[in-house]
Amino acid sequence: MSARKDLPGRMLRLLALLQSRRKWSGAELAERLGVTGRTVRRDVERLRALDYPVTGTTGLAGGYRLASGKNVPPLLLDDDEAVAVAIGLASAAAGGVAGIEESSMSALAKLEQVLPPRLRPQVAAVSAAEVVVRDGMPQVDPGLLAVLAACCRDLEIVAFGYSTRRGEPTQRRVEPHRLVTLHGRWYLLAYDPDRRDWRTFRVDRISDVAPTRHHFEARELPAADAASYLAESFASASYRHWVRIEVELPLSAVRAAFFGLIPGRLYPTGDDACVLRITADSPSLLIQYVAGVVALGAPYTLEASPELADLIDKVGRQLHG
């Protein structure tokens, strides 16, 4: 196919790349599109002629970016369609739809850039009406998720208010890395320069989010990925309630009984025995794991914090009638 015949598709791919992250070098765009740097420059000029605000800088730190603002051509959607798309993306992300949480969040961040301000209250209102079907988990404003997702994508430092586990208000200024869902809750994984360490924040405790327009160099995460780091953080944390269950089954059999990450430590004590230890603020979460292990039907021994042990006894008596 000639370069001219491929022009419409190539320009759409170029536009999609410019929307996917904050800045690209000319060499990176040329490699992605399979063209020369000169062709990239010509295609950028064509986008500018179509009123797409593509800015460019020269030098070692130079590159191209698609500026946000009123001059970005609108989506080819009417108001009802735009609201429906935004709500659908927020629902897919906040509902923990397996396999598409991150892509839904990325798409919502892009849509947030071009969604007219007059439509944002409608998105928030309809999303708030979905509370009754979310199993009692804390609800998160889709707009807040979109801002955090955009800051993760653009490597932009973000400031916000945060309520600690004890309900104490604090102010944070962090380098956001990734948004992660676990057991119906959203978490922000970020590097906190003031504490010189990585931190995990529950998004439902975040307020007054303010992107700073200051950017940072990406840091190497001390784990295989964000989900693994979150699980390891839960395993090493110490919360009010805890349970330790030693069960006479192989580790693989116990792990297979639970969907997704286990927020604690699961380790073998032999070929046919293992230990599950979980700690949490919520006793109901721990009860779920106790019930899951008991349902496996293998011999086990259980230790728990005093309040949780009382609750386990109470639940057991109720089940026996």
Model confidence pLDDT, tens digit, residues 263-279: 788 899 999 999 998 88
SS3 15: helix
Alpha-carbon distance of 176 to 150, in angstroms, equals 10
Nearest to 115 by CA among 145, 140, 78: 78
Give the up-direction half-sphere exposure of residue 295: CA atoms within 13 A in the CB hemisphere. Answer: 10
Going residue by residue through the chain (321 aa), what tens digit of pLDDT does each one get?
444 445 667 887 888 788 777 788 888 898 988 899 899 999 889 888 877 888 887 765 568 888 765 455 544 456 666 666 776 676 666 555 444 456 666 776 777 666 777 776 666 555 544 433 344 456 677 678 878 888 888 899 999 999 987 788 999 999 999 888 776 678 899 999 999 999 999 888 999 999 998 999 999 988 878 877 877 777 666 778 889 999 999 999 998 888 767 778 889 999 999 999 888 877 887 888 899 999 999 999 999 999 888 888 888 888 776
DSSP string across 28-89: HHHHHHTS-HHHHHHHHHHHHHTT--EEEE-STT-EEEE--STTSPPPS--HHHHHHHHHHH
Phi, psi of 10 (to 5 degrees): -65, -40
43-92 residue pLDDT tens = 889 888 877 888 887 765 568 888 765 455 544 456 666 666 776 676 66
pTM assigned to the model: 0.51
Centroid of chain to Cα 233: 16
Nearest to 272 by CA among 297, 291, 293, 254: 254
Centroid of chain to Cα 130: 19
